[in-house]
Structure 1
Amino acid sequence: MAAMRRIGWGLSVIAAVIAGGLVLLFYSNEIGRARSAVDKGWQIANTVAGPIEYAEKGDGIPLLSIHGAGGGWDQGLTNVADLVGDRFRVIAPSRFGYLGTPIPTDVSPAAQADAHKTLLSTLMVDKAIVFGVSAGARSAIELALRHPDYVSALILIVPGTFTPQNPVMVEGSRGSAFVLWLVNAGADFAWWAMEKIAPSVLIRFIGVPPELVEAASAKEQDRVLDIVRSVEPLSRRFPGINIDSAPDLQGLALKEISAPTLLVTARDDLFNTLPAAKFAANSIPDAKLVVYDTGGHLLVGHEDDVRAVVSDFLAGAGLAPSPKSTAPTASSTQQ
């Protein structure tokens, strides 16, 4: 009997070793693909503000796509791919601390805006549509204020910007606090493992109610999970995430923004961007605000709506051919 128990224990150890080896093999393969994906497709612009990593795609009217927290040039391209199609020359930089862009002494949104302007100037772009997502909206606003001649229109999606009250913040659950610790540690394996065993925790961490994703279409579920996976490799992005996680946000002279401005957010965004979007829309002259009742930080279920809103806005600003106008859905309000 004792011999049988020893054999059973030995088989359990062998099974555990094999399972662990397979997990490490899967992880190694997938993280390797993620690292390879961000090791190609980019360029370095050697500017007076220092080296800036960026990528370009498409032809036409220049559009500067400024990614949010956890991003990089790759997410900058993805953020606008389905919204504007191939009618634009999309320029997507990696902000300070993300992927191949180093961290300078001054990492403020104002300094980032100056870097954006320098990149545009280096690429001989005189004026661009500026598209800022989440934390990327901070430097987008600064660019419109500091270098207005470079901004033909300003689009801010779920803006993580200043508001006197109810500031933007990471969702406060224990799970999100743990994920924030992982992010700060640059824990590639832990993020990958949570994708497999607890994706709802990561979905909540990126500002989306998990139950909203569960009720969404298969296409939308795949889109959300693709965004979760796009944070890999986390270790290549967490220096930038650390900068975005402790912003020194201050009130700005938003009334001086002269570019046509569109803001889009959702009431149930777990990052609480609605107050910031309302504050900016009320401060920027003639700004248009679109608010969806549901959707979270990724505007789940509203991809077609947002595409129509952006197209109509750009057409109204004389920056794109006007498609057939699409009226806002019943779950949205406009200002």
Structure 2
Amino acid sequence: MTGLRPVLAAAFGAAGGAALLRYRRDISHAYARVEALDRLTAVTRFGAMEYLDHGAGEAILVSHGIFHGCDGGLRSVQDTIGTRRVIAPSRFGYLGSAMPRDASVADQADAFVELLDVLGLPTVDAIGISAGTSAAVQLALRHPDRLRHLIISSGSFPGSDTAQAPPEWAKLLYSDPPLWALKRLARPVFARMMGVPEGFPRGVDDARVLTQMLDTIFPVRPRVTGAVFDAYVANPDVNDYPLEELRVPTLIVHAADDPLASYEAARAAGERIPDARFVGLDSGGHLQLGQTQRVRTAVAAFLASGELGDTR
């Protein structure tokens, strides 16, 4: 037994060393991926706001989800928006965007408008994704004259667990090492945390989208300030919004098996928003895996016609 101890120690040491090298390599690649993006910066009274400006045509502004940024915002809509110009800013505290002192979600909405002014865009369509719901809805409430349409995808609405601040200990996970370890050593658990239901991915396309979406939360470190703001300020903020006062044509898209944001809460929000259209997906979870064609069709029809109603 005594003779085994050096062998076991060497084995564990080698395994730990290999894991550390892989961690460093993966995080280095994540930083390189972000640095390779053609990120632009607008100066607002709230500080710097970085953004991606991709494509051509009618513009749509993306309010990204938690742990994302301009990169995740762009990736989230690339398969469903079609041939449009995508303006994907990093919200407060994400990547190269500032976190103003005592920031509010209303401030974020006003910062969006300042970005539109910089870009010379009098009106745009907008999409709020997951934790980006609050800022997108505030934009519609505060500046309805700047929006043609509002889309909420996998939204965090009153009545959803995501609209409640998590326990303080949850912040312990808000860093690269624990999330990287989960991704590498417990991928099903990590995927579940990101809103993927059991039984997914279902095929090559789902697996590709899932991998890309999971990769876009890394590196975590330059997103932590924004993620904490989302979890403890932005998500709970939606509980006090007067959804009945929304006057921008609104489409809500949500999967029934979303394990993060409540489907029932999204439907209830749709009933409160005047003339909102609700598109319920049978499956796909928070990332709406396997639903690309249906979502693309629904979004295109909504943006083209502006007709409102309710559909399942």
Q: Residue deviations 1:245-265, cap 9 Å, x none? A: 123333333333222211000
Change (3 A) 1:59 1:294: same
Query: Deviations 1:72-115 (Å, cap 9, x if unpaired)?
Result: 00011101111123x21111111111111121123322111111
What is the aligned counterpart of 1:168 among 161, 179, 183?
161
Distance 2:58 2:163 in 1: 35
Q: Which residue in 2 is equivalent to 1:212?
A: 199
Matches within 5 A, 1:51-66: 51-66=48-63
Query: What residue in structure 1 maps to residue 180 of structure 2?
Result: 192
Match of 1:308 among 280, 292, 297: 297
What corresponds to 2:311 in structure 1? Answer: 334
TM-score if structure 1 supplies the norm length?
0.84
Structure 2: gaps (5+ residues): none
Partner of 2:13: 17
- Deviations 1:41-74 (CA, angstroms, capped at 9, x unpaired): 2121112232111111001111101101111000
| Structure 1 gaps, min length 5 | 319-332
User: Following the alignment from structure 1 to structure 2, what is the Cα–Cα distance between the partners of residues 301 and 140?
Assistant: 25
1:99 is paired with a residue whose SS is: coil
Q: Does 1:90 align with 2:86?
A: yes
What is the DSSP-based 3-state SS (H/G/I as helix, E as strand, rest coil) of the residue aligned with 2:79?
helix
Deviation at 1:267, TM superposition (A): 1.8
**Cα shift readout 1:289-311 (whole Å, capped 9, x = no counterpart):** 01123222111221221111111
What is the match of residue 67 of structure 2? 70
Give the 3-state SS of the residue equivalent to 1:104 in structure 2: coil
Equivalent positions of 1:128-147 (< 5 A) are 128-147=124-143
Which residues of 2 match residues 245-256 of structure 1 at below 5 A? 245-246=231-232, 247-256=236-245
The amino acid across from 2:249 in the alignment is: P
Identity %: 36
Partner of 2:224: 238
> How many residues are aligned here?
305
Letter paired with 2:46:
A
Aligned to 2:262: 273
Q: Distance in 2 between matches of 1:206 and 1:46?
A: 32
Q: Give the conservation status (yes or no) of the 8 Å contact 1:65–1:91.
A: yes
Equivalent residues of 1:182, 1:191 under 8 A apart: no
Contact in 2 for aligned 1:45/1:52 (Cα 8 Å)? yes
Root mean square deviation, CA, Å: 2.4
Aligned to 1:28: 24
SS of structure 1 residue aligned to 2:260:
coil
Matched-pair contact (CA < 8 Å) for 1:131–1:156 = yes
Higher relative contact order (CA 8 A, sep 6+): 2
Aligned-partner Cα distance in 2 for 1:54–1:282: 33
| 8 Å CA contact 1:66, 1:92 repeated in 2 | yes
Q: Which of the numbers 159, 173, 194 marks the counterpart of 1:183?
A: 173
2: distance between equivalents of 1:273 and 1:108?
24
